[in-house]
A and B are shown apart, each in its own frame.
Chain A
Amino acid sequence: MKRKKAYSRKGAYTWFIVPALVAIFAVIVFPWIFTLWMSLNDWRIGAESKFIGAENFTTLATNARFLSTIPRTFYFTILAVILPVILGVFAAEVFHQNFPLRGFLRGVYIAPMMATPVAIALVFTMMFQPQVGVLNYFLSLVGIPKSLWVYAADTVIPTLALVEVWQWTPLVMLIVLGALASLPTEPYESAVIDGANQWQMFRYITFPLILPFLMIAIIIRTIDALKSFDIIYVISQGGPGTASETINLYLYLQAFSFLQVGHSSAVVVVFFVIILALALTLLYARERLRWNQ
Protein backbone atom coordinates (compact mmCIF):
# COMPACT_ATOMS: atom_id res chain seq x y z
CA MET A 1 0.00 0.00 0.00
CA LYS A 2 2.63 2.44 1.10
CA ARG A 3 4.88 1.29 -1.67
CA LYS A 4 2.21 1.83 -4.27
CA LYS A 5 1.67 5.37 -3.07
CA ALA A 6 5.37 6.16 -3.29
CA TYR A 7 5.42 4.77 -6.80
CA SER A 8 2.47 6.83 -7.99
CA ARG A 9 3.99 9.92 -6.40
CA LYS A 10 7.18 9.42 -8.36
CA GLY A 11 4.99 9.22 -11.44
CA ALA A 12 3.27 12.47 -10.51
CA TYR A 13 6.63 14.25 -10.27
CA THR A 14 7.09 13.46 -13.94
CA TRP A 15 4.56 16.16 -14.76
CA PHE A 16 6.83 18.76 -13.19
CA ILE A 17 9.53 17.79 -15.65
CA VAL A 18 7.47 17.55 -18.84
CA PRO A 19 7.50 21.26 -19.86
CA ALA A 20 11.26 21.50 -19.38
CA LEU A 21 11.70 18.23 -21.19
CA VAL A 22 9.76 19.54 -24.19
CA ALA A 23 11.83 22.75 -24.25
CA ILE A 24 15.12 20.90 -23.79
CA PHE A 25 14.15 18.53 -26.56
CA ALA A 26 13.40 21.41 -28.92
CA VAL A 27 16.48 23.57 -28.32
CA ILE A 28 19.07 21.03 -27.19
CA VAL A 29 18.34 17.45 -28.24
CA PHE A 30 16.93 18.30 -31.67
CA PRO A 31 20.06 20.31 -32.59
CA TRP A 32 22.25 17.39 -31.49
CA ILE A 33 20.44 14.95 -33.75
CA PHE A 34 20.23 17.41 -36.62
CA THR A 35 23.97 18.12 -36.32
CA LEU A 36 24.72 14.41 -36.60
CA TRP A 37 22.50 14.19 -39.68
CA MET A 38 24.08 17.24 -41.35
CA SER A 39 27.56 15.88 -40.67
CA LEU A 40 26.72 12.96 -42.96
CA ASN A 41 25.67 15.23 -45.82
CA ASP A 42 27.32 17.47 -48.34
CA TRP A 43 25.38 20.51 -47.27
CA ARG A 44 25.85 24.16 -48.02
CA ILE A 45 23.25 26.76 -47.03
CA GLY A 46 21.29 27.71 -50.15
CA ALA A 47 22.28 24.60 -52.15
CA GLU A 48 20.91 21.08 -52.49
CA SER A 49 22.10 18.67 -49.82
CA LYS A 50 23.37 15.20 -50.63
CA PHE A 51 23.98 12.20 -48.37
CA ILE A 52 27.66 11.28 -48.46
CA GLY A 53 28.09 9.10 -45.37
CA ALA A 54 31.40 9.59 -43.53
CA GLU A 55 33.07 11.59 -46.30
CA ASN A 56 33.03 14.84 -44.30
CA PHE A 57 35.02 13.06 -41.61
CA THR A 58 37.54 11.50 -43.95
CA THR A 59 38.26 14.82 -45.68
CA LEU A 60 38.60 16.40 -42.23
CA ALA A 61 41.33 13.91 -41.35
CA THR A 62 43.48 15.31 -44.19
CA ASN A 63 42.47 18.95 -43.89
CA ALA A 64 45.71 20.66 -42.89
CA ARG A 65 44.04 23.89 -41.76
CA PHE A 66 41.64 22.03 -39.47
CA LEU A 67 44.35 19.72 -38.12
CA SER A 68 46.54 22.71 -37.23
CA THR A 69 43.73 24.10 -35.04
CA ILE A 70 43.92 21.10 -32.68
CA PRO A 71 47.43 21.55 -31.19
CA ARG A 72 46.78 25.31 -31.13
CA THR A 73 43.60 24.81 -29.13
CA PHE A 74 45.46 22.50 -26.73
CA TYR A 75 48.29 25.04 -26.30
CA PHE A 76 45.75 27.73 -25.43
CA THR A 77 43.86 25.35 -23.14
CA ILE A 78 46.92 24.21 -21.20
CA LEU A 79 47.88 27.84 -20.47
CA ALA A 80 44.27 28.74 -19.65
CA VAL A 81 43.98 25.84 -17.18
CA ILE A 82 47.35 25.64 -15.43
CA LEU A 83 47.83 29.35 -14.74
CA PRO A 84 44.35 29.88 -13.24
CA VAL A 85 44.83 26.80 -11.06
CA ILE A 86 48.13 28.05 -9.62
CA LEU A 87 47.00 31.66 -9.25
CA GLY A 88 43.55 30.59 -8.03
CA VAL A 89 45.00 28.50 -5.19
CA PHE A 90 47.18 31.43 -4.18
CA ALA A 91 44.24 33.84 -4.29
CA ALA A 92 42.09 31.42 -2.28
CA GLU A 93 44.80 31.19 0.40
CA VAL A 94 44.78 34.99 0.56
CA PHE A 95 40.99 35.28 0.76
CA HIS A 96 40.95 32.53 3.39
CA GLN A 97 42.74 34.96 5.75
CA ASN A 98 41.04 37.72 7.67
CA PHE A 99 41.58 41.28 6.53
CA PRO A 100 39.55 44.48 6.37
CA LEU A 101 37.10 44.84 3.42
CA ARG A 102 37.48 41.15 2.62
CA GLY A 103 33.88 40.70 1.41
CA PHE A 104 34.02 43.75 -0.82
CA LEU A 105 37.39 42.87 -2.30
CA ARG A 106 36.25 39.32 -2.98
CA GLY A 107 33.33 40.81 -4.91
CA VAL A 108 35.72 42.96 -6.92
CA TYR A 109 37.97 39.96 -7.52
CA ILE A 110 35.20 37.83 -9.03
CA ALA A 111 33.83 40.69 -11.17
CA PRO A 112 35.89 39.66 -14.24
CA MET A 113 34.10 36.34 -14.59
CA MET A 114 30.67 37.97 -14.45
CA ALA A 115 31.51 40.85 -16.80
CA THR A 116 30.45 40.73 -20.45
CA PRO A 117 33.30 38.99 -22.33
CA VAL A 118 32.94 41.23 -25.40
CA ALA A 119 33.37 44.33 -23.25
CA ILE A 120 36.41 42.85 -21.56
CA ALA A 121 37.87 41.82 -24.90
CA LEU A 122 37.47 45.36 -26.25
CA VAL A 123 39.27 46.91 -23.30
CA PHE A 124 42.11 44.40 -23.60
CA THR A 125 42.33 45.10 -27.33
CA MET A 126 42.99 48.73 -26.50
CA MET A 127 45.49 47.79 -23.78
CA PHE A 128 47.41 45.51 -26.16
CA GLN A 129 47.85 48.28 -28.74
CA PRO A 130 51.62 48.13 -29.44
CA GLN A 131 52.34 51.87 -29.89
CA VAL A 132 50.24 53.64 -27.27
CA GLY A 133 48.69 50.74 -25.31
CA VAL A 134 48.95 50.91 -21.55
CA LEU A 135 50.47 47.42 -21.15
CA ASN A 136 53.54 48.29 -23.21
CA TYR A 137 53.85 51.42 -21.11
CA PHE A 138 53.92 49.25 -17.97
CA LEU A 139 56.56 47.01 -19.56
CA SER A 140 58.66 50.06 -20.39
CA LEU A 141 58.46 51.18 -16.74
CA VAL A 142 60.19 47.99 -15.61
CA GLY A 143 62.60 48.01 -18.54
CA ILE A 144 61.11 45.17 -20.61
CA PRO A 145 61.05 45.76 -24.38
CA LYS A 146 57.65 46.40 -25.98
CA SER A 147 55.66 43.36 -26.98
CA LEU A 148 53.49 43.02 -30.08
CA TRP A 149 50.94 41.07 -28.00
CA VAL A 150 48.17 39.86 -30.31
CA TYR A 151 49.80 41.34 -33.40
CA ALA A 152 52.54 38.70 -33.69
CA ALA A 153 52.05 35.02 -34.46
CA ASP A 154 54.23 33.73 -31.65
CA THR A 155 52.75 35.84 -28.86
CA VAL A 156 49.09 35.83 -29.83
CA ILE A 157 48.07 32.58 -28.11
CA PRO A 158 49.76 33.33 -24.75
CA THR A 159 48.31 36.85 -24.89
CA LEU A 160 44.78 35.59 -25.47
CA ALA A 161 45.31 33.01 -22.73
CA LEU A 162 46.30 35.90 -20.46
CA VAL A 163 42.85 37.45 -20.91
CA GLU A 164 41.22 34.09 -20.24
CA VAL A 165 43.38 33.71 -17.11
CA TRP A 166 42.39 37.19 -15.95
CA GLN A 167 38.73 36.37 -16.45
CA TRP A 168 38.49 32.84 -15.05
CA THR A 169 41.03 32.59 -12.21
CA PRO A 170 38.26 33.82 -9.85
CA LEU A 171 36.22 30.67 -10.55
CA VAL A 172 39.12 28.46 -9.42
CA MET A 173 39.59 30.74 -6.42
CA LEU A 174 35.93 30.34 -5.41
CA ILE A 175 36.02 26.55 -5.70
CA VAL A 176 39.25 26.31 -3.68
CA LEU A 177 37.99 28.86 -1.15
CA GLY A 178 34.96 26.63 -0.55
CA ALA A 179 37.29 23.67 -0.12
CA LEU A 180 39.54 25.53 2.35
CA ALA A 181 36.53 26.48 4.46
CA SER A 182 35.59 22.82 4.83
CA LEU A 183 39.03 21.63 5.99
CA PRO A 184 39.50 20.15 9.49
CA THR A 185 41.74 22.14 11.86
CA GLU A 186 43.33 19.23 13.79
CA PRO A 187 46.06 18.32 11.28
CA TYR A 188 47.28 21.91 11.30
CA GLU A 189 47.39 22.06 15.08
CA SER A 190 49.52 18.94 15.32
CA ALA A 191 51.70 20.16 12.45
CA VAL A 192 52.39 23.39 14.32
CA ILE A 193 53.36 21.38 17.39
CA ASP A 194 55.68 19.28 15.22
CA GLY A 195 57.31 22.51 14.00
CA ALA A 196 56.15 22.40 10.37
CA ASN A 197 56.57 25.59 8.35
CA GLN A 198 53.91 27.24 6.17
CA TRP A 199 55.06 25.60 2.94
CA GLN A 200 55.20 22.12 4.51
CA MET A 201 51.71 22.56 5.90
CA PHE A 202 50.44 23.54 2.47
CA ARG A 203 52.33 20.79 0.65
CA TYR A 204 51.49 17.91 2.98
CA ILE A 205 48.11 18.86 4.49
CA THR A 206 46.23 21.48 2.47
CA PHE A 207 47.20 20.36 -1.02
CA PRO A 208 46.15 16.69 -0.71
CA LEU A 209 42.89 17.74 0.93
CA ILE A 210 41.93 20.29 -1.72
CA LEU A 211 43.11 18.16 -4.63
CA PRO A 212 39.67 16.62 -5.35
CA PHE A 213 38.15 20.12 -5.54
CA LEU A 214 41.05 21.29 -7.65
CA MET A 215 40.30 18.45 -10.07
CA ILE A 216 36.74 19.75 -10.45
CA ALA A 217 38.11 23.21 -11.17
CA ILE A 218 40.51 21.70 -13.72
CA ILE A 219 37.69 19.81 -15.46
CA ILE A 220 35.43 22.87 -15.69
CA ARG A 221 38.30 25.08 -16.80
CA THR A 222 39.43 22.59 -19.45
CA ILE A 223 35.95 22.33 -20.97
CA ASP A 224 35.49 26.10 -21.02
CA ALA A 225 38.97 26.89 -22.33
CA LEU A 226 38.56 24.42 -25.19
CA LYS A 227 35.30 26.18 -26.11
CA SER A 228 36.57 29.73 -25.61
CA PHE A 229 35.19 31.94 -28.36
CA ASP A 230 34.24 35.53 -27.51
CA ILE A 231 37.66 36.66 -26.33
CA ILE A 232 39.51 35.19 -29.31
CA TYR A 233 36.96 36.26 -31.90
CA VAL A 234 36.79 39.86 -30.69
CA ILE A 235 40.49 40.41 -30.02
CA SER A 236 42.25 38.58 -32.85
CA GLN A 237 39.58 36.96 -35.07
CA GLY A 238 41.89 33.98 -35.37
CA GLY A 239 44.75 36.11 -36.68
CA PRO A 240 47.34 37.17 -37.51
CA GLY A 241 46.85 34.80 -40.44
CA THR A 242 45.55 31.71 -38.72
CA ALA A 243 47.92 31.97 -35.76
CA SER A 244 45.11 32.00 -33.18
CA GLU A 245 42.49 30.01 -35.09
CA THR A 246 41.27 27.48 -32.53
CA ILE A 247 38.80 24.69 -33.30
CA ASN A 248 35.86 26.87 -32.29
CA LEU A 249 37.02 29.79 -34.45
CA TYR A 250 37.55 27.52 -37.45
CA LEU A 251 34.10 26.06 -36.83
CA TYR A 252 32.46 29.47 -36.74
CA LEU A 253 34.17 30.57 -39.93
CA GLN A 254 33.20 27.43 -41.85
CA ALA A 255 29.62 27.58 -40.68
CA PHE A 256 28.77 31.26 -40.93
CA SER A 257 31.25 32.81 -43.34
CA PHE A 258 31.44 29.92 -45.81
CA LEU A 259 28.01 28.45 -44.93
CA GLN A 260 29.45 24.91 -45.14
CA VAL A 261 27.06 23.42 -42.59
CA GLY A 262 27.74 19.78 -43.52
CA HIS A 263 31.48 20.20 -43.11
CA SER A 264 31.16 22.28 -39.95
CA SER A 265 28.72 19.81 -38.40
CA ALA A 266 31.39 17.15 -38.82
CA VAL A 267 33.81 19.53 -37.06
CA VAL A 268 31.26 19.94 -34.24
CA VAL A 269 31.05 16.17 -33.81
CA VAL A 270 34.84 15.77 -33.70
CA PHE A 271 35.12 18.76 -31.35
CA PHE A 272 32.48 17.30 -29.03
CA VAL A 273 34.30 13.95 -28.96
CA ILE A 274 37.57 15.73 -28.06
CA ILE A 275 35.92 17.66 -25.22
CA LEU A 276 34.09 14.60 -23.92
CA ALA A 277 37.23 12.45 -24.07
CA LEU A 278 39.25 15.02 -22.12
CA ALA A 279 36.48 15.54 -19.57
CA LEU A 280 36.10 11.79 -19.01
CA THR A 281 39.88 11.32 -18.72
CA LEU A 282 40.05 14.00 -16.06
CA LEU A 283 37.02 12.53 -14.30
CA TYR A 284 38.71 9.13 -14.35
CA ALA A 285 41.88 10.68 -12.92
CA ARG A 286 39.80 12.20 -10.15
CA GLU A 287 38.23 8.84 -9.29
CA ARG A 288 41.67 7.19 -9.23
CA LEU A 289 42.81 9.87 -6.86
CA ARG A 290 39.93 9.13 -4.55
CA TRP A 291 40.70 5.40 -4.61
CA ASN A 292 44.31 5.99 -3.71
CA GLN A 293 43.48 8.03 -0.65
Chain B
Amino acid sequence: MESVASYRVKKFVNRIALGFAVIVVVSPAIFVFLWMLSLSLKYEIDNIAYPPIFIPNPPTLDNYAKIFRESNYLLYTYNSVIVSGAATLIALLVGVPAGYGIAKGKRQGLGMLIMVARITPGLSYLIPLFMLFRLIGISGSLLALTISHLVLTIPMVVWVMISFFEDMHPELEEAALTDGCNIWQAFYRVAMPIARPGIAVAAILAFIQSWNNFLFGVVIAGRETRTLPVAVFNAMTFEQLSWGPVAAAALVVTLPSLLLTIFVQRDIVTGLAAGSVKG
Protein backbone atom coordinates (compact mmCIF):
# COMPACT_ATOMS: atom_id res chain seq x y z
CA MET B 1 0.00 0.00 0.00
CA GLU B 2 1.35 3.37 -1.03
CA SER B 3 1.60 6.00 1.66
CA VAL B 4 -0.14 9.34 1.18
CA ALA B 5 3.20 11.15 1.16
CA SER B 6 4.69 9.07 -1.64
CA TYR B 7 1.45 9.50 -3.60
CA ARG B 8 1.80 13.26 -3.23
CA VAL B 9 5.44 13.16 -4.32
CA LYS B 10 4.47 11.12 -7.37
CA LYS B 11 1.70 13.54 -8.26
CA PHE B 12 4.08 16.47 -7.86
CA VAL B 13 6.69 14.82 -10.09
CA ASN B 14 3.99 14.16 -12.71
CA ARG B 15 2.98 17.80 -12.69
CA ILE B 16 6.58 18.93 -13.14
CA ALA B 17 6.97 16.49 -16.03
CA LEU B 18 3.79 17.79 -17.64
CA GLY B 19 4.91 21.39 -17.23
CA PHE B 20 8.22 20.52 -18.82
CA ALA B 21 6.47 18.74 -21.71
CA VAL B 22 4.22 21.77 -22.30
CA ILE B 23 7.26 24.04 -22.51
CA VAL B 24 9.04 21.69 -24.91
CA VAL B 25 5.97 21.46 -27.16
CA VAL B 26 5.07 25.15 -27.26
CA SER B 27 8.46 26.88 -27.23
CA PRO B 28 9.45 26.38 -30.92
CA ALA B 29 6.26 28.15 -32.02
CA ILE B 30 6.66 30.92 -29.47
CA PHE B 31 10.35 31.40 -30.20
CA VAL B 32 9.97 31.89 -33.96
CA PHE B 33 7.26 34.52 -33.57
CA LEU B 34 9.11 36.31 -30.78
CA TRP B 35 12.31 36.26 -32.82
CA MET B 36 10.40 37.77 -35.73
CA LEU B 37 9.15 40.52 -33.42
CA SER B 38 12.61 41.03 -31.96
CA LEU B 39 14.24 41.39 -35.40
CA SER B 40 11.60 43.88 -36.45
CA LEU B 41 12.19 46.09 -33.39
CA LYS B 42 16.00 46.27 -33.55
CA TYR B 43 18.45 48.45 -35.43
CA GLU B 44 20.31 46.69 -38.22
CA ILE B 45 23.59 46.69 -36.30
CA ASP B 46 21.94 44.73 -33.48
CA ASN B 47 20.29 42.33 -35.90
CA ILE B 48 23.59 41.09 -37.32
CA ALA B 49 25.42 41.06 -33.99
CA TYR B 50 26.94 37.81 -32.81
CA PRO B 51 26.16 36.43 -30.30
CA PRO B 52 22.59 37.46 -31.15
CA ILE B 53 20.84 40.19 -29.17
CA PHE B 54 17.48 38.88 -28.03
CA ILE B 55 15.84 41.85 -26.36
CA PRO B 56 15.78 45.05 -28.45
CA ASN B 57 17.58 47.74 -26.48
CA PRO B 58 16.53 50.37 -27.28
CA PRO B 59 13.56 49.15 -29.33
CA THR B 60 12.77 51.06 -32.52
CA LEU B 61 9.82 51.36 -34.85
CA ASP B 62 12.09 52.56 -37.68
CA ASN B 63 11.73 49.32 -39.62
CA TYR B 64 7.95 49.65 -39.75
CA ALA B 65 8.16 53.30 -40.73
CA LYS B 66 10.69 52.40 -43.37
CA ILE B 67 8.62 49.76 -45.15
CA PHE B 68 5.56 51.98 -45.33
CA ARG B 69 7.55 55.07 -46.33
CA GLU B 70 10.03 53.65 -48.82
CA SER B 71 7.98 50.87 -50.38
CA ASN B 72 4.40 50.88 -51.44
CA TYR B 73 3.10 48.71 -48.62
CA LEU B 74 -0.15 50.61 -48.35
CA LEU B 75 -0.88 49.75 -51.99
CA TYR B 76 0.07 46.09 -51.48
CA THR B 77 -2.11 45.88 -48.39
CA TYR B 78 -4.97 47.37 -50.38
CA ASN B 79 -4.40 44.79 -53.16
CA SER B 80 -4.40 41.94 -50.67
CA VAL B 81 -7.57 43.15 -48.97
CA ILE B 82 -9.40 43.57 -52.30
CA VAL B 83 -8.32 40.22 -53.74
CA SER B 84 -8.87 38.13 -50.61
CA GLY B 85 -12.06 40.01 -49.72
CA ALA B 86 -13.60 39.64 -53.17
CA ALA B 87 -12.51 36.02 -53.57
CA THR B 88 -14.01 35.19 -50.16
CA LEU B 89 -17.25 37.06 -50.88
CA ILE B 90 -17.80 35.38 -54.25
CA ALA B 91 -16.96 32.01 -52.70
CA LEU B 92 -19.61 32.60 -50.01
CA LEU B 93 -22.22 33.67 -52.56
CA VAL B 94 -21.85 30.51 -54.64
CA GLY B 95 -20.45 28.18 -51.99
CA VAL B 96 -22.98 28.47 -49.16
CA PRO B 97 -25.99 27.53 -51.33
CA ALA B 98 -23.89 24.81 -52.96
CA GLY B 99 -22.97 23.32 -49.61
CA TYR B 100 -26.67 23.32 -48.71
CA GLY B 101 -27.69 21.78 -52.03
CA ILE B 102 -25.04 19.07 -51.76
CA ALA B 103 -25.89 18.25 -48.14
CA LYS B 104 -29.69 18.19 -48.67
CA GLY B 105 -29.76 16.85 -52.21
CA LYS B 106 -27.18 14.17 -51.40
CA ARG B 107 -25.01 15.06 -54.35
CA GLN B 108 -21.82 13.20 -53.58
CA GLY B 109 -20.34 13.73 -57.04
CA LEU B 110 -19.54 17.38 -56.49
CA GLY B 111 -18.03 16.55 -53.11
CA MET B 112 -15.72 14.09 -54.86
CA LEU B 113 -14.81 16.74 -57.42
CA ILE B 114 -13.74 19.04 -54.62
CA MET B 115 -11.65 16.29 -53.03
CA VAL B 116 -9.80 15.82 -56.32
CA ALA B 117 -9.32 19.59 -56.52
CA ARG B 118 -7.73 19.36 -53.07
CA ILE B 119 -5.20 16.82 -54.34
CA THR B 120 -4.30 18.66 -57.56
CA PRO B 121 -1.09 20.74 -57.44
CA GLY B 122 -1.81 24.48 -57.56
CA LEU B 123 0.43 24.98 -60.57
CA SER B 124 -1.88 22.87 -62.71
CA TYR B 125 -4.53 25.59 -62.36
CA LEU B 126 -2.07 28.35 -62.75
CA ILE B 127 -0.60 27.56 -66.15
CA PRO B 128 -3.98 27.43 -67.98
CA LEU B 129 -5.38 30.41 -66.07
CA PHE B 130 -2.23 32.41 -66.76
CA MET B 131 -2.61 31.76 -70.49
CA LEU B 132 -6.33 32.44 -70.44
CA PHE B 133 -5.78 35.79 -68.70
CA ARG B 134 -3.21 36.76 -71.34
CA LEU B 135 -5.63 35.76 -74.07
CA ILE B 136 -8.50 37.90 -72.80
CA GLY B 137 -6.16 40.74 -71.86
CA ILE B 138 -6.62 40.92 -68.09
CA SER B 139 -3.27 39.44 -67.05
CA GLY B 140 -1.68 41.23 -64.12
CA SER B 141 -4.96 42.82 -63.00
CA LEU B 142 -6.64 42.51 -59.61
CA LEU B 143 -9.58 40.89 -61.41
CA ALA B 144 -7.34 38.12 -62.73
CA LEU B 145 -5.86 37.60 -59.28
CA THR B 146 -9.31 37.43 -57.70
CA ILE B 147 -10.49 34.86 -60.25
CA SER B 148 -7.42 32.71 -59.63
CA HIS B 149 -7.98 32.87 -55.87
CA LEU B 150 -11.43 31.34 -56.36
CA VAL B 151 -9.54 28.08 -56.89
CA LEU B 152 -8.66 28.31 -53.18
CA THR B 153 -11.76 29.85 -51.65
CA ILE B 154 -14.66 28.04 -53.35
CA PRO B 155 -13.62 24.47 -52.41
CA MET B 156 -12.89 25.65 -48.86
CA VAL B 157 -16.32 27.27 -48.39
CA VAL B 158 -18.24 24.44 -50.06
CA TRP B 159 -16.42 21.85 -47.99
CA VAL B 160 -16.96 23.53 -44.63
CA MET B 161 -20.62 24.24 -45.45
CA ILE B 162 -21.37 20.65 -46.54
CA SER B 163 -20.25 19.27 -43.19
CA PHE B 164 -22.05 22.07 -41.37
CA PHE B 165 -25.39 21.57 -43.14
CA GLU B 166 -25.11 17.79 -42.86
CA ASP B 167 -24.79 18.08 -39.07
CA MET B 168 -27.77 20.46 -38.81
CA HIS B 169 -31.09 19.07 -37.59
CA PRO B 170 -33.60 19.12 -40.47
CA GLU B 171 -36.75 19.54 -38.31
CA LEU B 172 -36.95 23.32 -38.55
CA GLU B 173 -36.73 23.43 -42.32
CA GLU B 174 -39.18 20.54 -42.60
CA ALA B 175 -41.59 22.56 -40.48
CA ALA B 176 -41.05 25.62 -42.68
CA LEU B 177 -41.67 23.54 -45.80
CA THR B 178 -44.89 22.09 -44.36
CA ASP B 179 -46.01 25.61 -43.48
CA GLY B 180 -45.80 26.56 -47.12
CA CYS B 181 -42.31 27.97 -47.55
CA ASN B 182 -40.60 26.99 -50.75
CA ILE B 183 -37.14 25.44 -50.66
CA TRP B 184 -35.42 28.76 -51.28
CA GLN B 185 -37.24 30.41 -48.38
CA ALA B 186 -36.47 27.44 -46.13
CA PHE B 187 -32.82 27.91 -46.98
CA TYR B 188 -32.72 31.68 -46.80
CA ARG B 189 -34.95 32.28 -43.76
CA VAL B 190 -34.37 29.15 -41.69
CA ALA B 191 -31.18 27.28 -42.55
CA MET B 192 -28.92 30.27 -43.24
CA PRO B 193 -29.50 32.06 -39.92
CA ILE B 194 -28.84 28.82 -38.04
CA ALA B 195 -25.71 28.25 -40.11
CA ARG B 196 -24.27 31.68 -39.37
CA PRO B 197 -21.41 30.37 -37.18
CA GLY B 198 -20.51 27.87 -39.89
CA ILE B 199 -20.53 30.61 -42.51
CA ALA B 200 -18.24 32.70 -40.33
CA VAL B 201 -15.77 29.84 -40.00
CA ALA B 202 -15.88 29.16 -43.74
CA ALA B 203 -15.34 32.84 -44.51
CA ILE B 204 -12.39 33.20 -42.14
CA LEU B 205 -10.67 30.03 -43.33
CA ALA B 206 -11.17 30.99 -46.97
CA PHE B 207 -9.89 34.51 -46.31
CA ILE B 208 -6.77 33.26 -44.51
CA GLN B 209 -6.11 30.74 -47.27
CA SER B 210 -6.29 33.47 -49.87
CA TRP B 211 -4.40 36.03 -47.80
CA ASN B 212 -1.50 33.63 -47.21
CA ASN B 213 -1.27 32.54 -50.82
CA PHE B 214 2.00 33.34 -52.53
CA LEU B 215 2.16 31.16 -55.63
CA PHE B 216 -0.82 32.64 -57.48
CA GLY B 217 0.32 36.17 -56.76
CA VAL B 218 3.91 35.65 -57.80
CA VAL B 219 2.78 34.31 -61.17
CA ILE B 220 -0.18 36.52 -61.99
CA ALA B 221 0.33 39.86 -60.23
CA GLY B 222 1.94 42.79 -62.01
CA ARG B 223 4.13 45.51 -60.44
CA GLU B 224 1.18 47.52 -59.21
CA THR B 225 -1.06 44.60 -58.27
CA ARG B 226 1.31 42.68 -55.99
CA THR B 227 -0.27 41.15 -52.95
CA LEU B 228 1.50 41.37 -49.60
CA PRO B 229 3.22 37.94 -49.63
CA VAL B 230 4.71 38.71 -53.07
CA ALA B 231 5.81 42.17 -51.95
CA VAL B 232 7.51 40.77 -48.86
CA PHE B 233 9.29 38.15 -50.92
CA ASN B 234 10.54 40.84 -53.31
CA ALA B 235 11.77 42.89 -50.37
CA MET B 236 14.10 40.04 -49.56
CA THR B 237 15.46 39.33 -53.01
CA PHE B 238 15.71 42.64 -54.80
CA GLU B 239 16.88 45.01 -52.13
CA GLN B 240 20.01 44.65 -50.11
CA LEU B 241 18.91 42.15 -47.52
CA SER B 242 18.34 44.05 -44.33
CA TRP B 243 16.76 41.95 -41.64
CA GLY B 244 14.80 44.52 -39.69
CA PRO B 245 12.53 45.76 -42.50
CA VAL B 246 12.03 42.23 -43.84
CA ALA B 247 11.01 40.98 -40.40
CA ALA B 248 8.70 43.97 -39.96
CA ALA B 249 7.09 43.30 -43.35
CA ALA B 250 6.75 39.60 -42.57
CA LEU B 251 5.00 40.42 -39.33
CA VAL B 252 2.64 42.89 -41.03
CA VAL B 253 1.65 40.21 -43.57
CA THR B 254 1.08 37.42 -41.13
CA LEU B 255 -0.62 39.39 -38.35
CA PRO B 256 -4.15 39.37 -39.88
CA SER B 257 -4.01 35.59 -40.32
CA LEU B 258 -2.91 35.11 -36.74
CA LEU B 259 -5.58 37.43 -35.35
CA LEU B 260 -8.34 35.75 -37.37
CA THR B 261 -7.11 32.35 -36.20
CA ILE B 262 -8.04 33.23 -32.65
CA PHE B 263 -11.71 33.35 -33.69
CA VAL B 264 -11.78 29.99 -35.42
CA GLN B 265 -9.31 28.10 -33.25
CA ARG B 266 -11.80 25.42 -32.28
CA ASP B 267 -13.26 24.81 -35.72
CA ILE B 268 -10.07 24.83 -37.69
CA VAL B 269 -9.65 21.08 -38.07
CA THR B 270 -12.86 20.50 -40.03
CA GLY B 271 -11.98 23.08 -42.60
CA LEU B 272 -8.27 22.58 -42.91
CA ALA B 273 -8.36 18.84 -42.87
CA ALA B 274 -10.36 18.52 -46.04
CA GLY B 275 -11.36 21.72 -47.72
CA SER B 276 -8.15 23.48 -48.53
CA VAL B 277 -6.15 23.66 -51.71
CA LYS B 278 -2.46 24.17 -51.24
CA GLY B 279 0.15 25.22 -53.80
Contacts and interface: CB of A to CB of B under 8 A. Distances in A.
Interface residues of A, number: 87
Contacts of A24: 110, 113-114, 117, 154-155
A255 B98 contact: no
A193 interface: no
Contact of B127 (A125, A127, A229, A265): A265
Nearest to B30: A108
Nearest to B205: A114
Contacts of A255: 123, 126-127
A94 B26 CA distance: 10
B97 A16 contact: yes
Contact of A116 (B155, B211, B215): B211
A123 B105 contact: no
Interface string A210-245: 000000100010011001111001100000000000
Contacts of B148: 27
A143 B85 CA distance: 49
A94 B29 CA distance: 15
A98 to B, nearest CB: 9
Contacts of A275: 119-121
A19 B90 CA distance: 10
A35 interface: yes
Interface string B206-227: 0010011011000100000000
Contacts of B232: 118-119, 122
Contacts of B78: none
A224 B132 CA distance: 27
Given A16-B187, A275-B121, A27 B150 contact: yes
Counting chain A CB atoms within 10 Å of each CB, the highest count among B52, B95, B158 belongs to B52
Interface in B230-279: 230, 232-233, 236, 243, 246-247, 249-251, 253-254, 257-258, 260-262, 265, 268-269, 272-274, 278-279
A192 interface: no
B67 interface: no
B9 interface: no
Nearest to B276: A224
Contact of B25 (A23, A91, A171, A220): A91
Interface residues of B, number: 94
B18 interface: yes
A256 B219 contact: yes
Given A16-B105, A116-B212, A132 B50 contact: yes
B101 A14 contact: yes
A115 interface: yes
B104 A13 contact: yes
B34 to A, nearest CB: 10
A279 B119 contact: yes
Contacts of A107: 261-262, 265
Nearest to B149: A27
B138 interface: no
B119 A117 contact: no
A109 B102 CA distance: 34
Contacts, number: 264
B253 A119 contact: yes
Given A132-B49, A134-B52, A122 B123 contact: no
Contact of A122 (B21, B114, B250, B268): B250
Contact of A118 (B95, B229, B261): B229
B258 A111 contact: yes
Contact of B35 (A15, A112, A123): A123
B131 interface: yes
A135 to B, nearest CB: 10
Interface in A1-40: 9-10, 12-17, 19-24, 27-32, 34-35, 38
A23 B114 CA distance: 12
Nearest to B51: A137
A113 interface: yes
Contacts of A137: 50-52
A90 interface: yes
Interface in B115-155: 117-132, 134, 147-148, 150-151, 154-155
Across the A-B interface, the 7 shortest Cβ-Cβ residue pairs: A16-B101, A13-B105, A20-B98, A119-B250, A31-B128, A229-B279, A34-B128
29 contacts: A17-B101, A19-B94, A19-B97, A27-B148, A28-B155, A31-B127, A32-B120, A34-B131, A35-B127, A45-B134, A97-B18, A107-B262, A108-B30, A112-B32, A113-B272, A114-B257, A117-B212, A118-B250, A119-B232, A119-B250, A123-B32, A123-B36, A131-B50, A137-B50, A174-B268, A229-B123, A234-B214, A264-B127, A268-B127
Interface of A: 9-10, 12-17, 19-24, 27-32, 34-35, 38, 45, 90-91, 94-95, 97, 99, 103, 105-120, 122-127, 131-132, 134, 137, 166, 170-171, 174-175, 178, 216, 220, 223-224, 227-230, 233-234, 248, 251-252, 255-256, 261, 264-265, 268, 271-272, 275-276, 279
